[in-house]
Amino acid sequence: MNACIRGCFNAGAEAVLARDGHGSGNHVIWDELDPRAELFQGRNETGHLRFPRITECDALILLGYHAMAGTRGALLEHTYSSAKIQNMWLNGRPVGEIGLDAAVAAEYGVPTILVTGDDHVCLEARAWIPGVMTCEVKKSLGNQGAFLLSQPAAHRLIESSTAAAIRRIGDIKPVQVQKPVTVRTEVVERGQIPRDGADGFRVLDGRTYERTADTVLKAWLGW
C-alpha cells in the first residue's frame, strides 16, 4: 500500500484515500501507513457507497486483487466470499470483484486505472476494463501457491506502475455498463437465497437469484 501511495504522489497526486477492502477492513497497520495518505478502515455502514468519498476522486486503483471465483489456476480465486458465493454475473457476463468494483466506480464517473495481483487477475482486468494498466507481482501455481517477486522488486514495480497509471488519468475511461443492470448470484449452499420477490429479487433456482435495477449497487446490494 505504501508503494502505491508513493507512486501516486510521485506522479503529482494531491491526495490519496486508502481503503482496507478485505473482510472486516481492519488489516492495515495504521502507524506504518505513509502519513500523506488518509485511511478508511473498518466497515462502511453509514452510507451507500462501496468506496466512501469516491466522488472526490479522479481515479480508482485496485491493489492486491485476485481473480473471480472459478478461474482455473488462479491464486485464491473467489468472488467476495468463498464460503457463500459460487459465481456472479453482471448483465449475463461472469464477473468478479474487478468487474463489479470498476462498474460501481464508473457510475460516479471514476475510471479504474490500475489493477495489481497475479497473472490471472491482470488478464481479467484487461478483459473488463479497456486500456487499464496492470501490475503483475506474482505468477500463480494454483489456488494456494505462486511464484512471487522479491518484496523490494514487487514494491518497486507497484510504485512505478502506479505513477505511470496516474499520469494516464484522462486516457483510461470508466467502464460502460448497460442499463438497467442485472446482477445474478449463485450461492455455495442451498438455503442461502432470499425469498422470491423480496427486495426485488427473482429466484431462479435453489441456489441462484438476481435483481435488476438502474444502478450496479442497487442491483447488487439494494443500495
What secondary structure letter does DSSP report for 126?
A: H
Can you give the residue range of the structural domain that contains 133? Answer: 2-221
Query: How far is the C-alpha of 135 from the C-alpha of 213, rounded, in Å?
Result: 33
Question: Which amino acid type is present at position 1?
Answer: M
Please classify residue 203 by burial: count the beta carbons closer than 10 Å to its beta carbon, then call 0-12 exposed, 13-18 middle and 19+ buried: middle
Cell output for 181: 443492470
pLDDT at residue 46, rounded to an integer: 55
Contact 184, 204 (CB under 8 A): yes
Query: How far is the C-alpha of 190 from the C-alpha of 92, rounded, in Å?
Result: 22
Contact 199, 156 (CB under 8 A): no
CA 119 from centre of chain:
16
pLDDT at residue 48, rounded to an integer: 57
pLDDT at residue 47, rounded to an integer: 53
pLDDT at residue 143, rounded to an integer: 94
The CA-to-CA distance between both ends of the chain, in Å, stands at: 29
β-partners of residue 17 are 38
Cell output for 197: 420477490
Q: Which segments of 92-188 are extended strands (E)? A: 93-94, 112-118, 133-142, 145-148, 181-187
- Total count of domains within the chain: 1
> Would you give per-residue pLDDT tens digits along the chain (223 residues)?
999 999 999 999 999 999 988 877 788 999 999 999 999 988 776 555 788 899 999 999 999 999 999 999 999 999 999 999 999 999 999 999 999 999 999 999 999 999 999 999 999 999 999 999 999 999 999 999 999 999 999 999 999 999 999 999 999 999 999 999 999 999 999 888 999 988 899 999 999 999 999 999 999 988 8
Single pTM value for the model:
0.94
pLDDT at residue 186, rounded to an integer: 97
- Helical packing angle, 2-10 and 151-166, nearest 10°: 40
The domain that holds 25 is classified in CATH as: 3.40.50.10780
pLDDT at residue 223, rounded to an integer: 80
Contact 41, 28 (CB under 8 A): yes
Contact 108, 54 (CB under 8 A): yes
Query: How far is the C-alpha of 132 from the C-alpha of 168, rounded, in Å?
Result: 10
Phi and psi torsions of 165, nearest 5°? -70, -40
